[in-house]
């Protein structure tokens, strides 16, 4: 069985698709592309697809991940092209790599988010960010299926700052009008702290209230490096293992030949 890991995006209006909507679209793309999927056992078999840490509905993303299991081997790049052609524009399959190292979900420990606050003066945003960063705890409340829940939004935030850019080419909702842009790195904890929780925290500590809904885009997610404060590429270990495989096979062949000649 071959396992392929994919990175995909949610752009433009497609940011409003729910995770279930994406699942349906992706399974249709698998059928259109005639992908030799492995299926689960039981009375209702379903394709073996593992989704990892999907972004909330309404947020854009440049870094969503999933893994599929195949019964026959396929070239990852050709498979990516076939799937991308079968997906709606905005739900783009942009990278594929063969899974060589276990534990993709374990490598997704933090996310980098961009939050565009249209109508907010950058100076006001900077003051709010400073108040948030200096606070020991920032309690916010969110409605869950079990009712209202109050938790600390500050502890999960590894970094929060403003950026001088007036617009980002990766932003989900670009505009020519100046606005405050925040860059956020948040650890994946329980309960999950989402970008809207951080916005609620900014409102609580500095009364920062954007006049329109923030445009939120996940720029990256991966393993959080405590020393550098950066988020690393979760597919890098698989790429490195694939690149090293030919050398490993050559080395093994050379060793076997040496033993035979001896």
CATH number at residue 32: 3.30.70.580
Is the domain of 62 the same as that of 131? no
DSSP state letters, 9-41: EE-GGGGG--HHHHHHHHHHHHHHTT--B-B--
Give the model confidence (pLDDT) of 11-65 as tens digits.
999 999 999 999 999 999 999 999 999 999 888 899 999 999 999 999 999 999 9
Query: Token pair of 130, please?
Result: 């400073």
Tell me what the pLDDT averaged over the chain comes to.
Answer: 89
* CATH number for the domain harbouring residue 196: 3.30.70
Domain boundary among 50, 75, 106: 106
User: Using one digit for the tens of pLDDT, what is the confidence trace for 115-147?
Assistant: 999 999 999 999 999 999 999 999 999 988 888
pLDDT reported for residue 250: 41
The residues, any chain, with a CB within 8 Å of residue 123's CB and separated by 6 or more, are none
Structure tokens at 171: 């932003």
The gap from C-alpha 96 to its chain's centroid, in whole angstroms, comes to 14
Task: Write the CB contacts of 32 (distance below 8 Å, at least 6 apart in sequence).
Answer: 86
pLDDT at 252: 42
37 and 71 in contact (C-beta within 8 Å)?
A: yes
* pLDDT tens-digit series, residues 195-209: 999 999 999 999 999
Percentage of the chain lying above the pLDDT 70 cut: 88
The reply to whether 64 and 158 lie within a common domain is no
Provide CB contacts within 8 A for 166, sequence distance 6+. Answer: 176, 178, 179, 181
Position 174 scores a pLDDT of 54
Looking at residue 176, what is its pLDDT? 59
DSSP E strands, 72-193: 93-98, 110-118, 139-144, 147-152, 157-163, 179-187
Query: What is the CA angle 202-194-129, rounded to 5?
Result: 25
CA gap 217, 246 in Å, rounded = 38
Sorted by sequence, the CB contacts under 8 Å of residue 74 that are 6+ apart come out as 2, 4, 35, 36
Per-residue model confidence (pLDDT) at position 254: 41
Please give the structure tokens belonging to residue 97: 């790599």
Helix (H, G, I), strand (E, B) or coil at 64: strand
Asked if residue 203 and residue 221 are part of one domain, the reply reads yes
The single residue listed with the structure tokens 């950058």 is: 122
Give the range of the structural domain holding residue 147, as residue numbers without chain letter.
Answer: 109-231
Q: Is 258 helix (H, G, I), strand (E, B) or coil?
A: helix
Among 64, 84, 106, identify where a domain stops: 106
d(CA 48, CA 36) in angstroms, rounded, equals 11
Residue 102 corresponds to which tokens in the numbers above? 């276990």
Q: Is the pLDDT of residue 249 over 70?
A: no
**Domain assignment of residue 23, yes or no:** yes
Per the structure, the count of domains in the chain is 2
Taken in order 84, 234, 172, 201, is the CA torsion positive or negative? Answer: positive
Q: Which residue is it, tokens 């020991």? A: 136
Structural domain contains residue 196: yes
Q: Is the pLDDT of residue 241 over 50?
A: yes
Return the pLDDT at 146. 81
Q: What is the 3-state secondary structure (H, E, C) of 40-65?
A: CCCCCCCECEEEECCCCCCCEEEEEE
pLDDT bin (cut points 50, 70, 90) of residue 99 is very high
């Amino acid at each position: 069985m071959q396992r392929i890991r994919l990175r995909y995006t949610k752009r433009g209006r497609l940011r409003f698709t729910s995770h279930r909507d994406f699942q349906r679209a992706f399974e249709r793309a698998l059928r259109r592309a005639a992908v030799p999927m492995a299926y689960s056992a039981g009375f209702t078999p379903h394709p073996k697809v593992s989704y990892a840490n999907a972004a909330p509905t309404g947020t854009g993303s440049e870094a969503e991940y999933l893994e599929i299991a195949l019964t026959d081997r396929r070239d990852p790049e050709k498979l990516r092209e076939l799937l991308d052609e079968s997906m709606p524009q905005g739900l783009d399959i942009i990278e594929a790599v063969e899974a060589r190292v276990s534990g993709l979900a374990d490598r997704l420990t933090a996310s980098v988010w961009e939050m565009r606050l249209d109508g907010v003066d950058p100076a006001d945003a900077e003051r709010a960010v400073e108040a948030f960063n200096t606070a020991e705890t920032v309690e916010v409340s969110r409605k869950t299926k079990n009712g209202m829940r109050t938790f600390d939004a500050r502890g999960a935030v590894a970094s929060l700052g403003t950026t001088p850019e007036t617009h980002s080419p990766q932003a989900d909702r670009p505009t020519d009008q100046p606005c405050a842009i925040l860059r956020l790195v948040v650890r994946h904890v329980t309960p999950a702290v989402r970008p809207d929780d951080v916005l609620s925290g900014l409102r609580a500590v500095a009364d920062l209230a954007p006049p329109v809904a923030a445009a939120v885009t996940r720029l990256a997610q991966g393993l959080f490096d405590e020393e550098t404060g950066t988020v690393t590429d979760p597919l890098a270990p698989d790429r490195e293992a694939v690149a090293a495989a030919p050398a490993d096979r050559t080395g093994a062949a050379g060793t076997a030949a040496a033993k035979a000649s001896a």
